[in-house]
Structure 1
Amino acid sequence: MKKIFMYMFAFVAAISSMTSCDDWTDTEIKNPADLTHSNKTEAYYQQLREYKKTDHQVAFGWFGNWTGTGLSLENSLAGLPDSVDFVSIWGNWRNLSIEQKADLQFVQQVKGTRALMCFIVQSVGDQLTPEGTDAATFWGTGDEAIAKYANAICDSIDKYGYDGFDWDYEPNYGHRGDISGVPAAEKVFAETMAKRIGPKSGTNKLFVIDGEPQSVNKELGPCFNYFIVQAYSCWGAGDLDSRLSSTISNFDGVLSAEEVAKKYIVTENFENFAKAGGVKFTDRRGNTMQSLEGMARWTPMVDGKYVDKAGCGTYHMEYEYNVSGFGTTYPYLRKAIQIQNPSVK
């Protein structure tokens, strides 16, 4: 651990020497103080961390190809825009290298960015059953096995120092198992998780669900901080309105429409569309723009009145690190953050 922290502080020192570079130029901070300068002092980072504790529309993404190394920061969490609130690690979330540990600790401790474990939970033991071992033999069966597995996920969060878990839930897209798509099993799984993470736990760790929140056991709505929707190739506000409506209907009687909207994060597929900022999107007034911008501008309507959404984000956000024609990294995500939370000069 001593070596890890030594590496981390060396990493911070190296980054600090680069603060005049475009990699670290942020213009999207919403804060009474001017946080748009490139001289990133401790006072700047303190205000950045305080900003992330406020009630605002969040910026999110699934971060893949993570190494924490390289000549650029493309594969490092440290290279993300400062105002990104939280990310889900997509892929190599385990067996972290010294560089990954240092990178993770830097964004958590200095920038206040939270990072979640993320994978598809279809059946008991997914991602955690030892290689070559039969899942039923290792975990057992029934509710006891589900609870044991849920606690093992939470133990892994603690082991690696993550800030919570993103449950990739897609039973109607080829990922139905003995948990996913089985309401009684989902209830045991999520309620066990909710004792240790999420809004019911009192731990300040996040428990989010992505994919199909409109299909999950409705009783579980209060267990989650956010409902993250894969609104890929989103064509317009009507698409987002319809998706939200189905999720509101799913949780009817458990969460109000406003509560569902307040947890609702919409995302675009930047594995395919990072270099264009999404696809053509049409808002309610007929204006056209690219879809990530449209998601940032979209405001949900409930019973004829506008209500707050949780935020927006991208899948494989790291693919936007460099976009031809722009003088900064993550140009579309930065614009989306600015739209959702205009800087206070």
Structure 2
Amino acid sequence: MKMSKLKKVIYGVGISLFFLQGFLNSACSDWTEIEAKDYFVPVSEGYKSSLKDYFNSPHKVMFGWFGNWTGTTMSSSLCGLPDSVDFVSLWLCWGNLTIEQRADLKKFQEKGSKAVLCWRAGDIGDNLTPGGNAADVKREFWGIDPNDENTYIEAAKKYALAIVDTCNKYNIDGFDYDIEDYGTLMSSTYPERANAFMRTLREEFNKTGKMLVADIPGNSGWLGFYNLLADDVVQSLDYIVWQTYELGHSGLDNFFTGYGGVASYHPEIFEEVLRKSIVTATFERAKDKYRFTEQQDYHPSYGIEHAGMGAYHIEYDYPGNPDYSTVRAAISAQNPPINN
């Protein structure tokens, strides 16, 4: 039967992914030495082209929070990850990259993958205030007058611009705002502070094609944070990463569409939200790691597919033969080759 143009594209992507995964399982087995010179194994132009086509194709993404990043060993390097990992959040990295980290990041990006900064920020200036995180130090540095709400708004914007400057300085691909804390930035009384912060990030990132991501704990009790974000801010996000560490298929369905779930907030844009939602498990707790394998074949009963999956401390899956065996299996399971 003659295939339509679109069907041919989809088929081609599926076949490319099939061979891509086969290449990864063989080529990456050579990356066993810990010397930096062995990290960056050259690959053919044809392989690079196939990988680029894969990243540009409709597919479910693989994401991870990458911690303990040094760029000095394979287990602590972004280049040690499977090539088809779409992007990572550099957990607790707020700039000041070492020579090794810069080299590792550059090679990681050359493959087509991306890396964004990530940290928790309840207060304006968290982790980027010279002199420390003491409340009085942050108020003085960012120009906050406790009796003038407008100074909080302007300080939130300045804080966003400082993040943008850091991303530009180190060629980082954007920012993942880990929303787990209330404070002078994320305030239930003054939600415009966080919204002004996020709008500023989006406006500036649009100039350079950088990513804006938010991640929120995957429990209905935490959705108050999500509710504080304005509709336009939610729509401006490239992805929403949910920390659904303990949820299987039924738990995920309940989280998204059950009573008090995600669909209860911003209901007019829920389908758009679901399409950009990434579900995650954690590799930090061995007893919960099995959820990652369970989540790899999750399909929302709502009928709209989510964006993909990820793992907290994805680097903990490095040990093994092949390395990152659990992550590799999940990439293939999420994106099986098309059969006709």
TM-score, structure 2 normalization: 0.79
Q: Return 92-101 or 327-336, whichever deviates more.
A: 92-101
What is the aligned counterpart of 1:48 among 33, 48, 51?
51
Task: Work out whether 1:207 is the aligned partner of 2:212.
Answer: yes
**1:221-251 deviations in Å (ceiling 9; x for gaps):** 11211110111122x2121112222222212
Question: CA contact under 8 A between 1:65 and 1:92: conserved in structure 2?
Answer: no
Structure 1 match to 2:204? 196
SS in 2 for 1:116: strand
Query: CA separation in 2, counterparts of 1:249 and 1:202?
Result: 33
Using the alignment, how far apart are the partners of 1:54 and 1:149 within structure 2?
A: 34
Aligned-pair distance for 1:30?
4.2
CA–CA separation in structure 2 for the residues paired with 1:124 and 1:52: 35
Asked if 1:266 is matched to 2:279, the reply is yes
* Equivalent position to 2:187, from 149, 157, 181: 181
Q: Counterpart of 1:99 in structure 2: which amino acid?
A: E
- Paired residues for 1:71-82 under 5 Å: 73-82=74-83
Aligned residue number for residue 15 of structure 1: none
Query: In 2, distance between residues paired with 1:89 and 1:59?
Result: 15
Alignment correspondent of 1:252: 267
Residues 243 and 280 in structure 2, CA contact (< 8 A), matched pair in contact too: yes
Corresponding residue SS for 1:52 = helix
Offset of 1:216 from its aligned partner?
3.5
Are 2:294 and 1:294 aligned?
A: yes
**Structure 1 unaligned regions, length at least 5:** 1-28, 280-289
Matches of 1:49 and 1:113 in 2, distance apart? 9
Tell me, in whole angstroms, the C-alpha distance in 2 between the residues paired with 1:204 and 1:31.
Answer: 29
In the alignment, the residues of structure 2 paired with residue 210 and residue 178 of structure 1 have an alpha-carbon distance, to the nearest angstrom, of 19
Bigger mean CA deviation after superposition, 113-122 or 208-217:
208-217
- The aligned amino acid for 2:211 is L
More helix by share: 2
Question: Aligned partners of 2:15, 2:266: CA distance in 1, in Å?
Answer: 34
Number of positions where the alignment pairs a residue of Structure 1 with one of Structure 2 = 285
CA distance in 2, matches of 1:96, 1:127: 15
CA contact (8 A) 2:66 2:91 kept: yes
Deviations 1:14-66 (A, max 9, x none): xxxxxxxxxxxxxxx84547333346322102210221111210000000111
2:331 to 304, 313, 337: 337
Aligned residues of 2:89 and 2:115 also touching (Cα < 8 A): yes
CA distance in 1, matches of 2:94, 2:77: 13
Deviations 1:56-83 (A, max 9, x none): 100000001111113xx10110000111
User: Which amino acid is 1:334 matched to?
Assistant: R
The match for 1:313 is 310
Question: Identity of aligned pairs, percent?
Answer: 39
| Distance change >3 Å, CA 296–CA 53, structure 1 → 2 | same
Amino acid at match of 1:91: L
Which is worse superposed, 335-344 or 150-159?
335-344
Q: Unpaired segments of 5 or more residues in structure 2?
A: 1-12, 28-42, 145-151, 218-222
Give the Å deviation of 1:207.
Answer: 0.3
CA RMSD in angstroms, aligned pairs only: 2.0
> CA–CA distance in 1 between the matches of 2:71 and 2:318?
14
Q: Is the Cα contact below 8 Å between 1:218 and 1:250 reproduced in 2?
A: no
Match of 1:242 in 2: 254
CA distance in 2, matches of 1:330, 1:231: 21
Conserved in 2, the CA contact under 8 Å of 1:31 and 1:51?
A: no
Distance 1:216 1:335 in 2: 36
Match for 2:182: what amino acid?
R
2:92–2:117 CA contact under 8 A, matched in 1: no
Q: Structure 2 CA distance, aligned partners of 1:292 and 1:217?
A: 28
Would you say 1:63 and 2:66 are equivalent positions? Answer: yes
Deviation at 1:344, TM superposition (A): 5.4
Q: 2-side partners of 1:147 and 1:218: how far apart?
A: 16
Q: Relative to 1, partners in 2 of residues 1:203 and 1:250: Cα closer, same or farther, differing over 3 Å?
A: farther
8 Å contact kept, 2:94–2:128: no
Please tell me whether residue 156 in structure 1 is matched to residue 174 in structure 2: no
